[in-house]
Copies of this chain bind each other. A is one copy, B any other.
Amino acid sequence: MSPEKSLLLTDLYELTMMQGYHYHRMEGLATFELFVRKLPKNRNFLVFAGLEQLLSFVEEARFEEEEIHWLAQQGFKKDFLDYLKNFRFQGDIYAMAEGTIFFPFEPVLRITAPIAQAQILESRLMNIIHYQTLIASKAIRFYLVAAEKKLVEFGLRRAHGSEASLFAARASFIAGFSATSNVLAGKMFSIPVTGTMAHSFVQAHDVEELAFYNYAVANPRNVTLLIDTYDTERAAKHILSLAPRLREKGITIEAVRLDSGDLDYLSRSVRSILDSGGLKETKIFVSGSLDEYKLEELVKSGAPIDGFGIGTSLDTSSDCPYLDCVYKLQEYEGKPRRKRSTGKATWPGSKQLFRYFNDSGIMQKDLICLAEENYPAVALLQPVMRQGKRILPKEDLGEIQRRTLRSLGNLPPRLKTLQPAQTLYPVEFSPSLVNLKDKLEREEIQG
């Protein structure tokens, strides 16, 4: 079984707790919720992503014989292992739609299932949702400052492993990117795949122009030539003499790529060289350790750049490589539960989240309430799985992207900045929820 599908991709304590629940016949229904405890610095909002991979993981989740055999060697009990043989997740899941903008303390996902079933999912569930949400929330920052430009995900080499690279391509596409360089991501998620050439191809030829010619002839579609291996402006001039030779063969130089140096200066200089030779249609694509701040600078300065390749800073969410998200037990056997650990206390009970919009469709406030409450607003948690069967069909990624960008369109403009907003988005708690929390606190003190 491939590692990403294995139920052993979990923390040991999920299994020992599960053995505990099984041993003591604790089979009551539990509700767990996933939420982020606080916004990282430099984020005014987050973007939910990863639900598709979670649902497919949960639906297929089972223990293989060989895995059970291995667990036996680790000292798990026969009774428990027999139970694992027939393990299937049979619970319900409510979740936000992928691409939904959200804020701290808002449940993005709620699971209700016999406690052992809800517990065993914890580690991998967070692993899947955390990373894609992290990356969608980072990627949208590039979109915020360069929505008119072509944004391409380039981060495979420095993403944290294979799955991170694939998920980063998916999550950034959700958040407004146009394409990825990751071939397998393109195949798996139907994301457009684009690419240029590397310095090595140029270096492997004695003469740069020959490298350009050879590349274009062998790859006549979507020719993008990397022109900074030796001297960017000189290479741009050589492009002028190369273009007619390629045109004779029916090949167009779609774009040139700059990967180093002063990108503002060079893009202007290269643009003027290309224009002077009649290559007004040849686009300029740039890359090289770019983050959203450099993008904002280049876009604001009016540098004639058509597209950006974004790698490391995106795939590692380098300014903020994790979110403080948690998966917490909120209810067991119908009774609300909360944790009181210093600095980590939680809101009890099974919850719903409503969003209010003004007449122009701009988000006004969110309200976190108990699951059974109803408000005249949009309920963001919707059923996506019932009794272990997904009811949310697999969504088209383009559709998710459009939803994300609509969601962004509804966001108050003050939050659409790279810098922290002066006034955060208002998230309120319903009176019933506040009452429940107060009641539990009083009981705890008296107890």
A259 at interface, CB cutoff 8 A = yes
Interface string of A17-34 (1 = CB under 8 A from B): 101111110101010100
0/1 interface trace, chain A 324-355, chain B, CB 8 Å (1 if under): 01011100100001111111100000000000
Smallest CB separation, A188 vs chain B (Å) = 7
Beyond A119-B200, A164-B161, is A12–B181 a contact (Cβ under 8 Å)? yes
Contact partner of A13 among B4, B197, B337, CB < 8 A?
B197
Task: Decide yes or no whether A198 CB sits under 8 A from chain B.
Answer: yes
Which residue of chain B has the shortest Cβ distance to A30 in the bound complex? B204
A375 at the interface (CB under 8 A from B): no
Contacting pair A23 B218 (CB below 8 A): yes
Residues of B within 8 A of A327 (CB): 157
7 A-B pairs with least C-beta separation: A12-B195, A161-B163, A2-B2, A160-B160, A23-B218, A13-B195, A200-B329
Which residues in chain A, 54-72, are within 8 Å of chain B measured between CB atoms? 67, 70
- Complex-state Cα separation, A182 to B124, whole angstroms: 10
> A248 CB to closest chain B CB, in angstroms?
18
Footprint of B on A, CB under 8 Å?
2-4, 6, 8-17, 19-24, 26, 28, 30, 32, 67, 70, 74-75, 115, 119, 122-124, 126-128, 130-131, 134, 154, 156-167, 181-184, 186-188, 193-201, 203-204, 214-215, 217-219, 221, 228-231, 259-262, 312, 316-318, 321-323, 325, 327-329, 332, 337-344, 444
Q: How far is the CB of A308 from chain B (nearest CB, A)?
A: 16
Indicate if the CB atoms of B321 and A317 lie closer than 8 Å. yes
What CA separation (Å) do A183 and B73 show in the bound complex? 13
Chain B residues positioned under 8 Å from A230 (CB to CB): 340-341, 444
Which chain B residues border A24 with CB–CB below 8 Å?
214, 217-218
Q: A16-B195, A160-B163 are in contact. List 8 more A-B contacts (CB 8 A).
A: A15-B195, A16-B215, A17-B201, A32-B200, A161-B163, A204-B329, A229-B340, A230-B444
B341 adjacent to A261 (CB under 8 Å): yes
Least Cβ–Cβ distance between A55 and chain B, in angstroms: 16
Q: Which of A2, A12, A338 has the most CB of B within 10 A?
A: A12
**B residues less than 8 Å from A126 (CB atoms):** 157-158
Q: Please judge, given known A-B contacts A230-B444, A312-B322, whether A115 and B204 are in contact too, CB under 8 Å.
A: yes
Q: List chain B residues, Cβ under 8 A from A187.
A: 8, 67, 70
The contact sample of 29 A-B pairs, CB cut-off 8 A, is A3-B163, A8-B183, A9-B162, A9-B182, A11-B195, A13-B181, A14-B198, A15-B195, A16-B195, A17-B197, A17-B201, A20-B197, A22-B218, A30-B204, A32-B200, A127-B158, A127-B162, A127-B165, A130-B158, A160-B163, A160-B316, A163-B164, A199-B339, A203-B339, A204-B332, A228-B341, A316-B321, A318-B321, A318-B322
**Contacts A126-B158, A344-B260 given; does A10 touch B183 at CB 8 Å:** yes
In the bound complex, residues from chain B placing their C-beta under 8 Å from that of A318 are: 321-322
Chain B min CB distance to A374 (Å): 27
Give bound CA distance, A22 to B203, whole Å: 16
| A213–chain B nearest beta-carbon distance, Å | 10
A17's partner among B8, B9, B200 (CB-CB below 8 A) is: B200
Determine which residue in A161, A165, A321 has the highest number of CB atoms from chain B within 10 A of its CB, and name it: A161
How far, in Å, is A124 (CB) from chain B's closest CB? 8
What residues on B are CB-neighbors of A194 within 8 Å?
Answer: 12
Q: Which residues of B have CB within 8 Å of A158?
A: 126-127, 130, 322-323, 325
| B260 and A341 form a contact (CB under 8 A) | yes
Q: A341 CA to B289 CA in the complex, in Å? A: 14
Complex CA distance for A119 and B340, rounded to whole angstroms: 54
Find out whether the CB atom of A166 lies under 8 angstroms from the CB atom of B3.
Answer: yes
Q: Min CB distance, A365 to chain B, in Å?
A: 29
Residue from B26, B164, B312, B342 in contact with A261 in the complex, judged by beta carbons closer than 8 Å? B342
